[in-house]
Amino acid sequence: MAGRRRVPGVPVAARCLLLVSLLVALVACGQGPAVDSVRAEVQALLDQRADAVLGHDAAAYSRTGTRAGYDSLSEVPLADWSYRVTDVHRTGDTATADVDLGYRVEGYDRAPVTTARTLRLSRDEAGRWSVDSDRPAGTSGRQLWDQGTVRAVHGERSLVLGVGQPDVKLRDYAALADHAVPAVSDAWGPGWARRVVVLVPGSLEDMAGLLGSPASSYRGIAAVTTGETGAGAQAPADRVIVNPDAFGMLGDPGRQVVVTHETTHVATRAHTTAATPLWLSEGFADWVGYRGGDRLPAEAAPELARAVSHGEVPAGLPADEDFGFTGDADGLARAYESGWMACRLIAERWGEERLGAFYRTVGAHGQRDGAVQDAMQRVLGTTPEEFTMEWQAYLREQFD
């Protein structure tokens, strides 16, 4: 038959043996079954490691490899801790594993926080794998326990986790958070978890490490809140992450405003979507932070007051890009202050309940286009153009 050629001088049985050997060699080169076997072995090892973390079994943890990181976790109240191996790259008796770590903090996380890790492993003469190192993968942010031993302080409505901070400071953060939670509930309503997790790293650089960003992005920013906009009730709890360098420069009233502001983001997260402009989400958080205080607008919004008093009334509400941390510091301040004054106007002109309804209606729109216009028409009975003119007049009234 055309296309068939005999191998001269090689018997049929030998040719069959040759083909089998070639197939074995190809499988070995592709390393499919071999990698799957190693992956299963590594997964079993990490399952043992996870059980040791949850069982507070230091000896069992040490049997799985390096003990690094174990003691740093001892005070973190964990409800769950698990690894999922996504890929293994083996070279002889060493391997690198790509792993998703999932964990839940007891009493706060309704779903696991998931973060990518890179583990390096080695195999002993008996064929047993062990973990040599466990680090954040690529651009993934570090976890607090990657930075040192975590101390935990439990407030009435809060959990504060800190590294490199004295307990007395952590208790101060818990007191601020415990005060913020009912203040936010009074302004927003009770329909949220009504508790908050606060992370206090040792420095600005450590804060940036938790966020996987350069420190320059957060210099002068006292705190940020992490979380997924529009997250449902089963999402992990947001984390309020403090910049101890900037936070330490604030007085007591300013610290409370910051923590209440960030707690507001936690409360409103489920109603904050892609449709919500930053002037509204940040302005509302500031409005709650200052609500009930005695600071005058010119004191709380000095940059905006200075601009308006010099005849520089903003042409419109700030755009999302005006809230970038890496831009002009004065411009960033004016953006926050402008959003706050817009929410303050709504609360005074239409009432606090309408302000909350406006926020929820904007978030429910589903997309940015038309969200503010629709909510202003339905909730406030006005248009963005009319509102902007009223807001500009309000700024002149407060700051001229």
pLDDT in tens, 60-74: 999 999 999 999 999
Domain boundaries, the chain: 32-140, 143-270, 273-400
> What per-residue confidence (pLDDT) applies to 195?
96
Q: 252-297: per-residue pLDDT in tens?
A: 999 999 999 999 999 999 999 999 999 999 999 999 999 999 899 9
- CATH, range 32-140: 3.10.450.50
> What per-residue confidence (pLDDT) applies to 232?
61
> What per-residue confidence (pLDDT) applies to 36?
81
Contacts of residue 366, defined as CB under 8 A and 6 or more positions apart, other chains included, come to 273, 274, 275
Q: According to the 3-state scheme, what is the secondary structure of 217-286?
A: HCCCCCEEEECCCCCCCCCCCCEEEECHHHHCCCCHHHHHHHHHHHHHHHHHHHHCCCCCCHHHHHHHHH
Sheet holding 113-123, edge to edge: 78-91, 94-105, 113-123, 129-136
Query: Which residue ranges in the chain fall short of pLDDT 50?
Result: 1-31
> What per-residue confidence (pLDDT) applies to 22?
38
Measure Cα distances from 164 to 45, 53, 74, 148, 200 in Å: 31, 22, 15, 7, 9
> What per-residue confidence (pLDDT) applies to 33?
60
- Helix, strand, or coil (residue 77): coil
Sheet holding 196-200, edge to edge: 150-154, 158-163, 196-200, 239-242, 223-226
Alpha helix positions (H), the chain? 12-30, 32-54, 58-62, 167-188, 204-211, 244-247, 252-268, 278-290, 297-300, 302-309, 329-349, 352-363, 371-375, 384-399
Alpha carbon distance 400, 350 (integer Å): 23
- CATH, range 143-270: 3.30.2010.30
> What per-residue confidence (pLDDT) applies to 147?
97
- Contact between residue 334 and residue 300 where contact means Cβ atoms under 8 Å apart: no
> What per-residue confidence (pLDDT) applies to 222?
96
Alpha carbon distance 168, 178 (integer Å): 15
